[in-house]
Amino acid sequence: MVYIIISNIGLAIMMIYIYFRYTHFRINSAKEIKELRAKSDSQSVELRNFDAKLLSSVKSYQDRVEALLIEIGKVRQEKEKEIELRSEIEKKFEILNQKNTDYEVVHNEITNAIMNIVNDTHETAKNLGKDLYEKITTNYKKESLENQKLMAKINQNVAEFVAKFNSSQLSSAQSYAPKKKDEVDFAELFLTTQSEVAKNAVIDAIDLIKNKGLSLGKEFFTSQSFDESKSKFLLSEIALVKNQTLYLLDFKATNHIFEYYANKSRDDKSADENFANKFKRYLVLLSNNKYYEIINSLLESLGLNYKSHKISIIVPSRSEIRLLKELQFFDKAQQLGIDVKNIDEIEKTL
C-alpha cells in the first residue's frame, strides 16, 4: 500500500515536472517563433526592396541597351548610305574615266585623221578653211547686226515706257507710232493674258498665294493693285516679294502655247514656225533687263525693298512644260536664267 502511494506521488511529481518543462519549452518556442517570424518578415521586406531595385536596375539597363541598339542602327544605316554613296561615286568616277579615255581615243583619232588630211591635201584644206571662215564670219556679222537692231528697237520701246513712268505722264499703251513690218513691238508682246486658260491660270495662282497667307497689295501684286494709269507697267501678271527676293510670274506664254495648239490643227509646219518666232521674241524680251527695270520702278514707288529678282514663266500644267521641252524652248529659257513652272510648283517659291 505504501509502495502504491509512493509510486503515485512520484508519478504526480514527474507529471508536474513534465508539465513545467513543456510550459517552459512552449514559452521559449513561442518567443523564438515570434523572433523568427519577425526576422522572416524583415528578410521578406528586404528581399522585396532588393527585387524592386534589381528590376529598376534591369529596366534601366534594358533602356540603355535599347537606346544603344537604336544608335547603333542609325550609325549602321548612315554607314550603309555612306558606303552606297561612295560606291556610286566610284562607279561614276570609273564611268567618267572611261568616257575621258574614250574621248581621248576619239580625239586622237580625229586629230590624226585631220593631220593626215592636212598633210595629204594641204592646199585644198587651206582654201576650204578660208571659205568656211568667211562664211562663218559673214553669218556671224549678219546675226550680230540683226540682234543689235532688235535690241535697239526693244530698248527704244522700253525707254519710252520708263520715261513716261518717271515723268508721271502716263498714257495709253497704244500711243506708240506705227511700226514697220519686221519691227518688234514691245507693248504688243506684253499685253495682258488674253486666252481664258491663261486668265484662269492667273486666278488659280492668286488663290494659291492667298491660301499661303500672303496679302494682295502688301506681299504680292497684280494689275488690280494699281490704278489704270500705272497697272500697264506691271509687265508680269504677278509680282511676289519673299525672303528679300522679287519673283516675277509671267503667264503670257500660255497665250502663245494655245495659239500654237489652234494653228497646229490647220497647218503643222506654219504653226511650228509661227510659235518659234513668237516664243523667241518672248524669251528675248523677258531676259532684257528693261523688263525688270520697268517693274522695279513701279514697285520702288511703293517703298518695297528686295536684294534680287527671279523671272518665271508660268504655264497651267506639266503638259505645257513637256511641249516646251520637245520644242527645245525649256532649255533656252533656263540658259537665259528664266524658270519654267506650272501652277502647282509656285508653292515651292512660297
List b or e across 173-182, with b for residues whose CB sees 16 or more CB atoms inside 10 angstroms: eeebeeeeee
Among residues 130, 50, 314, which one has the least CA distance to residue 204?
314
The pLDDT tens digits for 304-325 are 889 999 999 999 999 999 999 9
Nearest-angstrom CA–CA distance, 296 and 306: 10
Q: Say what the alpha-carbon torsion angle 117, 120, 122, 125 is, to the nearest 10 degrees.
A: -40
Reported as a pLDDT band with limits 50, 70 and 90, residue 140 is low
pLDDT by residue (tens digit) across 75-111?
988 888 889 888 888 888 788 878 777 777 776 777 7
Question: pLDDT, tens digit, for every residue of 241-284?
Answer: 988 999 999 999 999 998 888 888 787 788 889 999 999 999 99
- pLDDT, one tens digit per residue, over 22-31 is 787 778 777 8
Phi-psi label, residue 241: left if phi above 0, alpha if psi -120 to 50, beta otherwise: beta
DSSP state, residue 216 = B
Which one of 30-39, 44-53, 120-129, 322-331 scores highest in mean pLDDT?
322-331
Q: What is the average per-residue pLDDT within 188-212?
A: 77
Residue extents of the structural domains in the chain: 1-120, 161-349
Residue 160 has pLDDT above 80, yes or no: no
pTM of the model: 0.48
